[in-house]
Structure 1
Amino acid sequence: MSGDMGGDDAAVEALRALIRIPTVSSWFREEEDRDAFDALLSELASRFPRLHAACEVERIAGDALLVRWRGRTPEAPVVLMAHLDVVPVGDESAWTHPPFAAELDGGFVWGRGSLDCKGSLVAICSAVEQLLAEGVVPARDVWLSFGCNEEVSGGAAKEAVRLLRERGVDAWVVLDEGGAIVQGALPGVAAQTAVIGTTEKGTVDVELVARGDGGHASAPKRMGATARIARAVLRLERHPFPARLPDPTVDMLERLAPHASAPYSRVFARARRLRPLLGRVLPRLGHEPAAMARTTTAVTQLSGSPGANVIAAEARAHVNMRVMVGETVDSALERIRTVVRDPAVEVVLVSGDDPSPVSPTDDDAYRLLESTLAGTFPGVVPVPYVMLAATDARHFHRVWPRVYRFTPFRMSAEQRGSIHGVDERIGVGDFLDGVRWYRRLLESL
């Protein structure tokens, strides 16, 4: 960890202060607490005064920030990203500590947003604040794009992209949240691995809608709306998308081969030739490897009758899909219709984004990330991978070719499971090492 304990303490306290502000975003803006977002932006200004004084800080899209830290040249700038909003907490009684209390316990800061994504937000701002205090001027312009609705739509990120393009900014590299430093994610690999998202799956939201006669529950008919929806859901569960390994996954396995134990080392080293076989094997190794090998479908919401004794005249299931690289929104929808195979169940597209392009791993941009990792986390093995979740980076990747998704924190499997779940928390030492990582990155430009 950093030797600057004063700076370390300030960074940790800034993180705790921001976690305490419940900036929960919603698909419906009128449901959001506008005062919370105002409070968070005020807290940021208070905690990072040098950043706000020395940089050009612009509030966009309501509550998002677009910041320019001028370097020695505006050519080939870097964009660092994070987001201000968090997802709802659900049942607060299930948490070890209140989700917005930011308790310090057991070497962790506990709370919603600690990993996703206020940890990255504060680590970036802390690194800039510290470098400004030392009189550092970056070699090139650094832009900070902090969205306010990443969890629901990413509309603020689209506005940031529009403004940057309007101003002629041609980003050399864009870095958003994404993969982390993990261990044990794949069998046979004991080494700590830094998984760097070079692309991300597409995101599709679909409604399955069935309609029927409705009526009183005392006289039900066969195959009403709810039965049809239930059957459709089971068909999706029983007939997952075919497994396939895109190039970034093959690249990841090949790079992990020297660090894997037998027999995995031999299999990973031949990943390109064994692609069909691995496509069948990975889904059997757990939910995370399975998600790396296919388009996934998750039924997240169900609705039916408004009354306990009323037969539903309409039933719905919301399906969230993550579309594998190499496939499209249209092909995913066609697959859903084929699997459901019920003309009485309507498949309605709510929203959809195709998978992102694949960023290069053989040029100076990716090598910068690798060297920064080597200097901050010796012994950690960097590998590319397909980001499974959606990020604001997808909007940037439609314009600029070098977009990477990496969060420089160590995360256990349990911590990764707490993102959008219960007991989200970040290790204090891991957070401070993340600050160091961003510092080194900025100093290396």
Structure 2
Amino acid sequence: MKGRAVVTGLGVAAPNGLGLEAYWRATLKGRNGIGRLTRFDATGYPARLAGEIDGFTAEDHLPGRLLPQTDRMTRIALVGADWALADAGIDPGELPEFAMGVITASASGGFEFGQNELRALWSRGGQYVSAYQSFAWFYAVNSGQISIRNGMRGPSGVLVSDQAGGLDALAQARRQIRKGTSLVMTGGVDASLCPWGWVAQLAGDRLSTSDDPERAYVPFDAEARGHVPGEGGALLVLEDAEHAARRGAPRVYGEFAGYGSTFDPRPGSGRPPGLRRAVELALADAGTGPDGVDVVFADAAAVPELDRVEAEALGALFGPRGVPVTAPKTMTGRLYSGAAPLDLAAAFLALRDQVIPPTAHTSPDARYGLDLVGPEPRPATLRTALVLARGHGGFNSAAVVRSTAA
């Protein structure tokens, strides 16, 4: 089928693993990337835990001229894109520049860069504010910088819908592939572990205030108390299947086969949440039914009401304990726009290795009726995975990914 979109490259930066295989090994071992915040002193804040990336030194990967222009999230995204291209066996300089696009997701933009420039403004004066502030904070900056660095001048953009944006970006990338673009760098990376970003996240009233890294983020648990934020995400090379075959792509992880999105009705309207409908749309788009899904990567909000909504949607579609469910983000925290792309990467690796990654730390509450995998990985026959993501304010997105192996 012309315009079929497949993933040929993955670049991952996560709190429990830097690089694709390091992340996957850590995830299968249940390694926790959540700990006490170290990027600033969070002692006076009600929430003090986060998923921080260890061992990332931008100077080791990027030219010095880029460092003054970029926020931490953009540096991570640029390196993730480099890794994804290398994984896909692509030298962008060998492809027509208008045949390659960049579509990413962002939830907050470069908060840390913006905070530093505001500090300079108020403490030293306007002449000390960087000219790069005009774009380094912006939601679209990752798309722009990846495009410039790699000469990708095809269709590009950014999706801003919190965690759901990570799937929305892939869907928009697929639309461009169906219109004739050969490949799109897509996915998302967020990093807002700075005081300004932290205050913004606290305002959403969904952060866990627990100081126990092993029990702070426990979705579908009777003691669920909110999520732990994190930084990082994944960049994916989404490519036209025929183009990938013509150039002899070294690997195809699978197909981005189906997508659906909805928006929740206003509170008090009496209408049901939209998550179930988003899943139904994604399944229909993929040409499959619930019985064709082998594993679900849950949104896993760890807010009791939101966990209930997700569990009820899955129960209505698959039946009680009708499909294995996993939430490896319990080891990283919720990475906002980077969370769903990281789940997609994990889903493709699960399809590759025929194993479902664990859900760490959680003791599933029987009232949710879920077959929640964990704390050990579960070998399984896998061909199709469903990935769910929701954004603050009512965004719901669902994606179906499918193995292309014979």
TM-score normalized with structure 2 length: 0.30
Larger radius of gyration: 1
TM-score normalized with structure 1 length: 0.28
